[in-house]
Amino acid sequence: MNHLHPNPGWPKHDFRHFQGSMAPNHSDLMVGKHCILELYDCDQNKLNDEAFIRTTITTSTKVAGATLIHLITHQFTPCGITGLALLAESHISIHTWPEINYAAIDVFTCGRHTKPEKACDFFVKEFAADNYLLKSLKRKTPSGISNSLRDPNS
């Protein structure tokens, strides 16, 4: 059994009753946005360039107004890269398939100061995607923690 708190930094609450399809009552506050970006017909060389992807993820973090904590990437053989940026505000992930000129990207940021859509626009331009699909979800704050303060830098 995992004893880690699902929301480190927030006061202790019993979140077990939120499991399954039963959604908790939400306040009107938005905890963050989760953007799901599909990039099609991209520059194949960029999709398989690990240094380029590391630089692009790092810059996209700044464009979104987020704080990069840690970045990890992995180059696959014969091709493809996975990258994950741990942010103070959540995460950015990318998975590339250069052989079909495709990338799947998630940008999830918490807080009103971040702009994940700007990071997505940046990815579209940097990977020279001829086509893309962007879905944006608003994450709502569970009422039990809506007034809790959390310091992302601690």
How far is residue 53 CA from its own chain's centroid? 15
Give the tokens for residue 97.
């398939």
Number of Cβ within a 10 Å radius of residue 76: 13
Q: Are 59 and 119 in contact (CB under 8 A)?
A: no
Catalytic residues: 90, 95, 110
